[in-house]
């Protein structure tokens, strides 16, 4: 995908600390991260479970401070290390970036995932099976895919299976509720639209935050902690909103 207006890309991660990012860990209030799940190591934003005795379904998300509606987001990720003790088997080399996330301050302590759209990252298992990355998952949301409404929770992309600890570049084009497109190493791997709230695969939330069929055209960006260590770098955003008239 061609890149325009290079000079307008803004860095969301300074490589030094977590300025402008705040955690929400299941079982804790927004802003609390007693086990230091999210840290900066050697200039990389790192999700670590070194201080966990047991994962205990403590799904976490690190939220950027500003909500957006129309933008391009790009970042690089790689899976590292061993899965957290007690993490579910399906979460092995499984993480993601959430877009159109609800305000984290509206998430009660018991809530597991933000109502959002997840660009799901998966790593290969070196077992010969296909396990593409940059898939779509929909905690508390619905989409229109290939022209049809679907309540399928996760839809696989056409991306390749990526093994081991390779760095992977992800780009996400977000145009309100009309279109979200995923790119892996510069190649488009899926696109969909018609984003609304509703459905399942989220728990512990306030019921009024998930009305069935409400258009979802804006929200927060968050990085996921789902039980496997992962690192991020070069997190950048190009805001596509038209500036308000002066």
CATH number of the structural domain spanning residue 71: 2.60.120.560
Residue 141 covered by a domain: yes
Kindly report, residue by residue over 173-203, the tens digit of the pLDDT: 999 999 999 999 999 999 999 999 999 999 9
pTM: 0.94
Residue 1 covered by a domain: no
Residue 77 covered by a domain: yes
Residue 129 covered by a domain: yes
Q: Which of 73, 45, 92, 68 is nearest to 169 (CA)?
A: 73
Q: Is the pLDDT of residue 72 over 60?
A: yes
Of the chain, the end-to-end C-alpha distance in Å amounts to: 32
Residue 122 covered by a domain: yes
Q: Which two tokens stand for residue 158?
A: 């056409």
Tell me, what's the pLDDT at 242? 73
Tell me what percent of the residues of the chain surpass a pLDDT of 90.
Answer: 93
Confidence of residue 167 (pLDDT cuts 50, 70, 90): very high
Confidence of residue 7 (pLDDT cuts 50, 70, 90): low
Kindly report, residue by residue over 112-127, the tens digit of the pLDDT: 999 999 999 999 998 9
Confidence of residue 20 (pLDDT cuts 50, 70, 90): very high
Show the domain range for 27.
Answer: 6-237
Q: Which of 78, 79, 163, 83 is nearest to 124 (CA)?
A: 163
Residue 125 covered by a domain: yes
HEC states along the chain? Answer: CCCCCHHHCEECCCCCCCCCEEEEECCCCCCCCCCCCEEEECCEEEECCCCCCCCCCCCEEEEECCCECEEEEEEEEEECCCCCCCCCHHHCCEEEEEEEECCHHHCCCCCCCCCCEEEEEECCCCCCCCCECCEEECCCEEEEECCEEECCCEECCCCCECCCCCCEEEEEEEECCCEEEEEECCEEEEEEEEEEECCCCCCCCCHHHCCCCCECCCEEEEEEECCCCEEEEEEEEEECCCCCCC
Tell me, what's the pLDDT at 128? 87
Q: Which two tokens stand for residue 152?
A: 């399928």
User: What mean pLDDT value characterizes the chain?
Assistant: 95
Number of domains observed in the structure of the chain: 1
Kindly report, residue by residue over 35-68, the tens digit of the pLDDT: 999 999 999 999 999 999 999 999 999 999 999 9
Confidence of residue 243 (pLDDT cuts 50, 70, 90): low
Q: Which residues contact 114 (CB under 8 A, 6 or more apart)?
A: 24, 61, 98, 101, 102, 104, 107, 139, 140, 202, 220, 222
Residue 245 covered by a domain: no
Tell me, what's the pLDDT at 2? 39
Residue 243 covered by a domain: no
Residues 89-97: what's their mean pLDDT?
Answer: 97
Q: Which residues contact 23 (CB under 8 A, 6 or more apart)?
A: 30, 31, 32, 33, 37, 38, 60, 61, 62, 63
Tell me what percent of the residues of the chain surpass a pLDDT of 70.
Answer: 96
């Amino acid at each position: 995908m061609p890149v325009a207006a290079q000079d307008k890309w803004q860095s969301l991660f300074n490589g030094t600390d977590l300025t402008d990012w705040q955690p929400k860990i299941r079982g804790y209030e927004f802003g609390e991260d007693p086990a230091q799940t999210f840290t900066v190591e050697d200039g990389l934003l790192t999700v670590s479970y070194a201080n966990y005795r047991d994962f205990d379904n403590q799904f976490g998300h690190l939220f950027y401070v500003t909500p957006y509606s129309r933008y391009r987001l790009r970042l690089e990720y790689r899976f590292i290390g061993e899965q957290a003790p007690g993490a579910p088997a399906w979460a092995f080399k499984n993480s993601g970036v959430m877009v159109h996330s609800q305000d984290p301050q509206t998430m009660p302590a018991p809530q597991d995932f933000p109502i959002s759209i997840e660009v799901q990252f998966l790593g290969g298992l070196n077992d010969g099976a296909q396990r593409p990355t940059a898939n779509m998952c929909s905690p508390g949301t619905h989409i229109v895919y290939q022209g049809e409404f679907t309540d399928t929770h996760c839809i696989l992309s056409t991306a390749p299976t990526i093994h081991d600890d390779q760095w992977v570049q992800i780009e996400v084009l977000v145009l309100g509720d009309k279109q979200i497109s995923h790119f892996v190493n510069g190649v488009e791997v899926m696109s969909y639209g018609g984003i609304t709230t509703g459905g399942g695969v989220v728990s512990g939330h306030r019921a009024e935050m998930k009305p069935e069929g409400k258009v979802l055209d804006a929200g927060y960006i968050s990085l996921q902690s789902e039980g496997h260590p992962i690192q991020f770098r070069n997190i950048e955003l190009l805001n596509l909103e038209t500036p308000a008239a002066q």
